[in-house]
């Protein structure tokens, strides 16, 4: 076992605290809290891809740890432009529906922590066999009834996991090589071979791109 400590940074009412847990006796450890002159955003900013922090040097890597598997989610997107048969139309018209759309892995953080993750690269959390992005492309011919509009849509399955960000440094920062933020981070990663397609048909005068009924 290591003789060092594991440090968990939590954000409470706008202040940052560190909880010190000895590796040798985790079960009987007591928490020793003391105020730090940095916060979780400083740690996140030092991650690869981040803007950098004036409190820390650049981290070697940032990894999602304490990972929890969430239920899968299917997210729908529009492929191409809607085709309309509105105005004084009395019969159906045959139109080509479809196009392409790229879906990518998304990473979000619990809004209550007020932390930005833009540009930050995180490892861990999802299997290396999963793709970070995939492009959907398909077209069909569809008869649009009078007074209606139609658009082709695709629903991609996403694997969802949540965890905390562990930040590893090449040199000691505030006395330690590793810090873990208390902010809850969620990653959604697309499954390229699990995509459903559908024609979304609505009345003229409504928003043909409104997929709230699919993504509810």
Report if pTM > 0.75.
no
Q: Which residue has the tokens 């920062």?
A: 173
Residue 89 is predicted with a pLDDT of 82
Q: Give per-residue pLDDT as tens, 10-61.
A: 333 333 333 322 222 222 122 223 456 788 888 888 998 888 888 899 999 9
User: Is the pLDDT score of 157 beyond 80?
Assistant: yes
Q: Give per-residue pLDDT as tens, 67-94.
A: 999 999 999 999 999 999 998 888 999 9
Q: Which residue has the tokens 């209550």?
A: 112
Instruction: Give the Cα separation of 144 and 153 in Å (integer).
Output: 15
Instruction: Give the Cα separation of 76 and 55 in Å (integer).
Output: 41
Backbone angles phi, psi at 40, to 5 degrees: -60, -35
Angular region, 52: left φ>0, alpha ψ -120 to 50, beta rest: left
Residue 191 is predicted with a pLDDT of 92
3-state secondary structure of 167: strand
HSE toward the beta carbon, residue 110, CA cutoff 13 A: 14
Residue 167 is predicted with a pLDDT of 92
């Amino acid at each position: 076992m290591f003789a060092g400590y594991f440090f968990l940074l939590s954000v409470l009412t706008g202040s940052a605290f560190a909880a010190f847990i000895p590796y040798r006796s985790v079960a009987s450890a007591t928490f020793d809290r003391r105020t730090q002159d940095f916060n979780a955003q400083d740690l996140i900013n030092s991650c690869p891809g981040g803007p950098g922090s004036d409190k820390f040097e650049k981290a070697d890597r940032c990894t999602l740890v304490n990972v929890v598997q969430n239920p899968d989610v299917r997210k729908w997107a529009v492929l191409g432009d809607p085709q309309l048969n509105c105005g004084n139309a009395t019969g159906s018209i045959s139109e080509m529906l479809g196009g392409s759309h790229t879906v990518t892995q998304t990473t979000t953080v619990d809004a209550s922590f007020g932390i930005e993750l833009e540009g930050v690269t995180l490892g861990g959390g999802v299997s290396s066999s999963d793709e970070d992005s995939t492009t959907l492309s398909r077209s069909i011919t569809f008869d649009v009834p009078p007074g209606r509009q139609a658009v082709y849509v695709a629903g991609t399955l996403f694997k969802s996991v949540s965890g905390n960000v562990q930040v590893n440094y090449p040199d000691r920062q505030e006395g330690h090589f590793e810090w873990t933020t208390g902010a809850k981070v969620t990653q959604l990663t697309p499954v390229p071979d699990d995509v459903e397609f559908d024609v979304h048909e609505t009345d003229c005068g409504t928003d043909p791109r409104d997929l709230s009924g699919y993504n509810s």
